[in-house]
Amino acid sequence: MAEIQRAGEVIEASTTDFTAQCYELYEIPPLGSLVKTKDLSVELYGIVYNAATTSLEPGRRPIARGKDEQSEEAIYRSSPQLLKLLKSEFGALVVGHKKDNKLYHYLPPKPARIHSFVYLCPPEEVKEFGQSFDFLNILINARLPVPTEELISASLRQMSQAHPDPRTFLVAAGKELAILLSGNLNQLKTILGRIRI
């Protein structure tokens, strides 16, 4: 992938997370993937923790349309306006930032700006970011609508794919988690069960 893939645009932002809308319906980055956006000189890194596809207008719910159609694709073909009436959004938890070409695995000074573009990080960048596991602490302590264990395991699975030796990466991450979660054995066990290779 030569060009960095643009995943969407920030439509809501706070210090700890931001929400982005995808340009195309259903083109959502996978759960746990690393995305980045910009606030002037600072690049913000986020991990996708949640995604939703809803009606463009909050009061207007979609209705079932497939009674006379042969396939699901046929629904969209016969009602092309649907693609414009629905939207896909995803939320990303801010886990670090890059300033003056230096990576910091903690929160940036300012949140992302609305309408900033959100990009999916290429493997080299994911690898670079994954060299430190300090971001795991942010994930562990975040209050999210999805279970933390799911998010952590998903993000580690995603990151491991950028590494030539995923197992070594996951073992190292697992060890870091074992230290961070030494007081919460069940959580540790759940995560390890989800990232095992």
Partner 1 sequence: MTENQRLGIVVSGSLNKGVEVKLDSSASIEDMAVGRFVTIEGQKRRFFGMITDVSLGVTDQRLALTPPDVSDPFIAEVLAGTSTFGTLHVSPSLVIGGDAATMLEGPQPVKTIPSHFSAVKLATQEDVELVFGTEDEKRFFIGNPLDMEVKLCLDLEELVKRSNGIFGKSGTGKTFLTRILLIGMLQKSRAVNLVFDMHNEYGWAGTREGGPPVKALKQLFQSRVAVFTLDEENSRHRGVSTDGVVRIGHDEIEPEDIVLLRQTLNLTEPAVEAVYQVHRRYGKNWLQNTLDLDAEESKELLKELNIHDSTFQNLRRGLATIQRLPFIEPSPPTNAVKAILEHLDRGTNVVLEFGRYRDITAYILVANMLSRRIYAQYQSRMEKATAAAKDNLKPRPLVITIEEAHKFLNPEVAGQTIFGVIAREMRKYNVTLLVIDQRPSGIDSEVMSQLGTKITCLLDNERDIDSVLAGVSGRAELKSVLAKLAAKQQALIFGHAVPMPVAFQPREYGSAQSYREFTSAGKAEVEKDIEKLWD
- Shortest distance, CB of residue 65 to partner 1, whole angstroms? 46
Please tell me whether residue 145 binds partner 1 under the rule CB under 8 A.
no
Which CB atom, from 4 or from 178, has the smaller least distance to partner 1? 178
- Shortest distance, CB of residue 141 to partner 1, whole angstroms? 19
d(CA 4, CA 137) in angstroms, rounded, equals 28
Which one of the spans 10-18, 87-95, 113-121, 185-193 is the region binding partner 1 (CB under 8 A)? Answer: 185-193
d(CA 5, CA 121) in angstroms, rounded, equals 8
Q: Other C-beta atoms within 10 Å of 142: how many?
A: 18
Please tell me whether residue 183 binds partner 1 under the rule CB under 8 A.
yes
d(CA 79, CA 65) in angstroms, rounded, equals 9
Please tell me whether residue 179 binds partner 1 under the rule CB under 8 A.
yes
Please tell me whether residue 196 binds partner 1 under the rule CB under 8 A.
yes
Long-range contacts of 170-178 (CB under 8 A, 24+ apart): 170/195, 170/196, 170/197, 172/133, 173/133, 173/136, 176/133, 176/136, 177/133, 177/136, 177/152
First to last CA, the chain: 26
- Shortest distance, CB of residue 181 to partner 1, whole angstroms? 9
By the 10 Å C-beta count (0-12 exposed, 13-18 middle, 19+ buried), 37 is classed as buried
- Shortest distance, CB of residue 158 to partner 1, whole angstroms? 17
Size of the site for partner 1 (CB under 8 A): 17
Tell me which residues in 57-96 interact with partner 1 (CB under 8 A).
Answer: none
Tell me which residues in 152-171 interact with partner 1 (CB under 8 A).
Answer: 167, 170-171
Residues lying near partner 1 in the complex (CB under 8 A): 167, 170-171, 174-175, 177-179, 182-183, 185, 188-189, 192-193, 196-197
